Chain A
Amino acid sequence: MARTFDRRTLLRAGLIATAAAANVPLLAACSDDSVPAAAGTESPSPRTGGTLRAAFAGGGAAETLNFLMGPTGLDYVRARCLHPPLGVLDPAAEHGVRYGVLDRIDISDDLRTYTLKVRPGVRFTDGSALTARDVIYSLAAPTTLGSLPFLKPPSRNFDLAKARVVDDLTLELPTLGPIADGRLILCQSTLVFKDGTKQFNADMPTAGPFRLTEFEPGQGAAFTRNDGYYSDVHLDGLELRAVADPTARANALTGGQVDFIHDIGPVSARTLEANPRFVVTAARLPYATSLSFGLNLAFKPFADVRVRQAVKHAVDRDAIVKTVFFGRAFVGNDLSSLGFADYAEEIEQRAYDPEKARALLDQAGVGRFTVAVTTAPEVAGMAETATVVVENLKAVGIDATLAQKPAGQLFADFPAYVKLPFAASYAPPVPPLSNYTSTRTAGSPSNFGFDRPDIDALVAQARAAADPARGREAAVRAQRLMWEDGNQLIPVFAPAISAHTPAVHGVRDEPFTTFERAFLAS
């Protein structure tokens, strides 16, 4: 399992994006119904003015301005309004990142030192300049102040204690080992706030596109434009409202109480898209959540690679995309991070082949066995996908049963979870190699006993390769081994779906929703 984000964060956040698809390598085909463009991809000229009202799932009184510990996606969306990012992942951009408060990141030839150049002229709302000291403080904050796991990749890959501030706009970061994908790690989720910040409150100086004017946990937040932001912001104001129930979110949109709603699920999307008053949007790759199943090698039948392959051939991925997601999803090929540059699109799509599955089971000689597929409705379509998988397994002679837990309970007892024989999971869109290092190397509880030092070595080799071609070669070899022998079934990648009025443009998801470039057309 690759679960870097806190599960609640992802559940609440959902993940869609507007990443341009042109340069995104696609292996797994989207379904016959193409996923519509995300908000603003066919925008009229930006117009300044207006207040956009958006609704997200939220998290009740637990919501906080301290996004490092914020339990919900809305906490990070709100923080993204207040604090600028180092950069954002953008497969269409050079090196896969589009810079925010950074001008660029230079990497030493030995891949052991990263030099971050800060964009000049970026200022906090108190008038002070944003410097390299603020950057290193923000990078270290997840460790020094505490944070959710998804914010910690920089500290797992860089020796932040040995960082050196060269001058106000230059920061040198030594790595913990030679890595070529450090830009992706640094720009994955880091937001920048002022050096020395201990408390996150409404009065703190910020440097993001908006200024906070009102915040009520569980209710919402209101913002006005930060005129001192380093880039143009079109909206005069922004309101982010917390509406926990997805049906209530849809009702708020249809009733005109909000202009934009996030994470509505495929069924509501179908209803809303039939209404010409609204536009339904979904992400393009790579910003889609992978829905996966871990096959536990401690469960005897799954110790045989032929049984694992049989399970993968038994699952009808196209049927899942069509029946569960009404076409708003991408077929998976049992490899994570579909759409990212390191994803091995060279590997052929695994076919739905029940006959082959039966033959592999016969060869393995495991006989008829019973297995419970454990899942929960943690994200839209997750439980329904498991239902299809169970039926598919039955069709090839495996006595599969569905064990569905209530929402929020699947990972509640993590030690018990990693002992399940056939466990559902989901993962956010993050680059594959650094994520593998964090969560799936030998000994990690998330890998369900699939300890493969040879794959670990290949991944390390790919990440440390100075020559991109050699790095790519090692990455593909590692992924081929995972594809052939691995214990992860990843049948589908599901983008979260949003809806809005036709006036809304420029809302981006990178992968969390950002309103920096949003505007309301007249």
Chain B
Amino acid sequence: MSLVLLIARRVAGAVSILVVLSALIFAATEVLPGDAAGVLAGGESSQADRDRLRQDLGLDAGLAHRYLTWATAAAHGDLGTGYVGHRDVAAVLADRLPNSLLLAVLAMAVAVPAAVAAGLAAGLRGGRRTDRMISTATLMAAAVPEFLVAAVLVAVFATGLGLVPEVSLVPLGSRPWRAPAVLVLPAAALAVTALAVAARLVRASVVDIASAPYVEAARLRGVTGTRLALRHVLPNAVGPAVQVVTVMFAGLIGGAVVVETLFNYPGVGYELQQAVANRDVPMVQGLALAMCTTTLVVLLLGDIVHVLLSPVLRGRS
């Protein structure tokens, strides 16, 4: 199988998953109690008012028809208009997605080197005190929910030390990158959990590679310490590490809902939370689909890079 064909198959697989996810998102918003017409018309509205509104919104059509209409429009980039405030979903997404991606990239910039360093240190000293300390610390950090991490960070670095602002109030008319201080705590909160999970995955990978015959051979030749880690272990751990990084990134996109809300950070996660609270179904559907798509794209890219970097997989292709 050629490399191109392999990648094409991965892309086709991702598209299939996206179709399934879109159906799940649509179904999930369908089973929510009540209906949009009832919410929009208000509690005291008459049945006739609600029926008229339902007709206007196209909610009287069958489920399959509505799904196909929505999915087809979404495939053409039309995510619809929010019920509440009548905002174009794609415009909201275009406005907020860069903010969320910035946060995720910053969190990655902190978490990836730290996770690789911690994973290497622990994996190369498997079973010893360093490994136990790092493993325990990362296990604890991975177990702590993001909102608690955020609360501790606020208490220590904002309220306690006064180093950074408690809440990400971006100056009006500006962007988060123009007020870098507002990025610190939400990025750190995302990074802590991601770092912990990733460090454990890197450690597991390193433990496997560290016991491989060629590493043993290097050790027997007297190669130890940093040289062993950087020249013999790390290069072979790059492939799995790329997957770890992509999984991390995908996790950050999901975790952003909690962290962005806690810090009032103007990202997609914050908007999704608000849309759910407002029962703004088109907005929820559009933002959720965008988050799923972003996650799939990241995972797909990671997959492709992994194939390109892996001699075994490249050989198979």
Measured between C-beta atoms, what is the minimum distance from B66 to chain A in Å? 19
Contact B166 A408 (CB under 8 A): no
B204 CB within 8 Å of chain A: no
Contact of A149 among B44, B165, B275 (CB under 8 A): B44
Task: Kindly list chain A residues whose C-beta atoms are within 8 Å of the C-beta of B263.
Answer: 248
Contact A254 B261 (CB under 8 A): no
A64 CB within 8 Å of chain B: yes
Task: Kindly list chain B residues whose C-beta atoms are within 8 Å of the C-beta of A78.
Answer: none
B225 CB within 8 Å of chain A: no
Contact B33 A416 (CB under 8 A): yes
Contact B172 A408 (CB under 8 A): no
Contact A412 B44 (CB under 8 A): no
A283 CB within 8 Å of chain B: no
Contact A257 B169 (CB under 8 A): yes
A391 CB within 8 Å of chain B: no
Measured between C-beta atoms, what is the minimum distance from A196 to chain B in Å? 20
Task: Kindly list chain B residues whose C-beta atoms are within 8 Å of the C-beta of A252.
Answer: 166-167, 169, 264
Task: Kindly list chain B residues whose C-beta atoms are within 8 Å of the C-beta of A217.
Answer: 85, 87
Contact B167 A239 (CB under 8 A): no
Tell me the B27-86 residues at the A interface (CB within 8 Å).
32-35, 38-39, 42-45, 82, 84-86
Chain B residue nearest in CB terms to A241 = B169
Chain A residue nearest in CB terms to B164 = A255
Measured between C-beta atoms, what is the minimum distance from A355 to chain B in Å? 37
Contact of A59 among B86, B266, B274 (CB under 8 A): B274
- Assuming the A-B contacts A243-B264, A244-B261, are A216 and B172 also in contact, with contact meaning beta carbons closer than 8 angstroms in the complex? yes
Measured between C-beta atoms, what is the minimum distance from B159 to chain A in Å? 6
A161 CB within 8 Å of chain B: no
Contact B173 A216 (CB under 8 A): yes
Measured between C-beta atoms, what is the minimum distance from B52 to chain A in Å? 12
Roughly how many angstroms separate A221 CA and B169 CA in the complex, as a whole number?
A: 12
- Assuming the A-B contacts A245-B261, A257-B165, are A408 and B173 also in contact, with contact meaning beta carbons closer than 8 angstroms in the complex? no
Tell me the A135-194 residues at the B interface (CB within 8 Å).
148-149
Contact A413 B270 (CB under 8 A): no
Contact B43 A3 (CB under 8 A): yes
Contact A244 B166 (CB under 8 A): no
Measured between C-beta atoms, what is the minimum distance from B87 to chain A in Å? 5
Contact B87 A148 (CB under 8 A): no
Task: Kindly list chain A residues whose C-beta atoms are within 8 Å of the C-beta of B273.
Answer: 60, 244
Tell me the A186-221 residues at the B interface (CB within 8 Å).
214-221
Roughly how many angstroms separate A403 CA and B278 CA in the complex, as a whole number?
A: 22
Task: Kindly list chain B residues whose C-beta atoms are within 8 Å of the C-beta of A149.
Answer: 42-45
A222 CB within 8 Å of chain B: yes
A112 CB within 8 Å of chain B: no
Task: Kindly list chain B residues whose C-beta atoms are within 8 Å of the C-beta of A439.
Answer: 44
A61 CB within 8 Å of chain B: yes
A363 CB within 8 Å of chain B: no
Measured between C-beta atoms, what is the minimum distance from A23 to chain B in Å? 32
B271 CB within 8 Å of chain A: yes
Contact A248 B172 (CB under 8 A): no
Measured between C-beta atoms, what is the minimum distance from A98 to chain B in Å? 28
Measured between C-beta atoms, what is the minimum distance from B42 to chain A in Å? 5
Measured between C-beta atoms, what is the minimum distance from A472 to chain B in Å? 28
Task: Kindly list chain B residues whose C-beta atoms are within 8 Å of the C-beta of A220.
Answer: 169, 172
- Assuming the A-B contacts A60-B270, A244-B270, A251-B166, are A414 and B172 also in contact, with contact meaning beta carbons closer than 8 angstroms in the complex? no
Contact B278 A62 (CB under 8 A): yes
Task: Kindly list chain B residues whose C-beta atoms are within 8 Å of the C-beta of A258.
Answer: 169
Measured between C-beta atoms, what is the minimum distance from A275 to chain B in Å? 11
Contact of B262 among A69, A248, A407, A416 (CB under 8 A): A248
Roughly how many angstroms separate A438 CA and B42 CA in the complex, as a whole number?
A: 14
Chain A residue nearest in CB terms to B182 = A257
Q: Annotate B277-303 by CB proximity to A: 1 below 8 A, 0 otherwise.
A: 111100100000000000000000000
Roughly how many angstroms separate A217 CA and B275 CA in the complex, as a whole number?
A: 13
Q: Annotate A427-469 by CB proximity to B: 1 below 8 A, 0 otherwise.
A: 0000000000011000011100000000000000000000000
Task: Kindly list chain A residues whose C-beta atoms are within 8 Å of the C-beta of B264.
Answer: 242-245, 248, 252
Task: Kindly list chain B residues whose C-beta atoms are within 8 Å of the C-beta of A61.
Answer: 82, 85, 87, 92, 95-96, 271, 274-275, 283
- Assuming the A-B contacts A61-B85, A248-B263, A257-B166, are A412 and B42 also in contact, with contact meaning beta carbons closer than 8 angstroms in the complex? no
Task: Kindly list chain B residues whose C-beta atoms are within 8 Å of the C-beta of A446.
Answer: 43-44
- Assuming the A-B contacts A218-B266, A244-B261, A257-B167, are A408 and B43 also in contact, with contact meaning beta carbons closer than 8 angstroms in the complex? no
Known: A62-B275, A63-B85, A414-B34. 10 other contacts (CB 8 A): A6-B42, A8-B278, A61-B85, A62-B278, A64-B85, A69-B86, A244-B273, A245-B264, A408-B276, A411-B43
Q: Which 7 residue pairs spanning A and B have beta carbons closest together?
A: A60-B274, A412-B34, A251-B166, A62-B85, A413-B34, A62-B84, A255-B166
- 19 intermolecular pairs with C-beta atoms under 8 Å apart: A60-B274, A60-B275, A60-B278, A61-B271, A61-B274, A69-B85, A71-B84, A71-B278, A148-B42, A216-B172, A239-B172, A248-B263, A252-B167, A255-B159, A257-B166, A409-B33, A412-B39, A412-B279, A416-B33
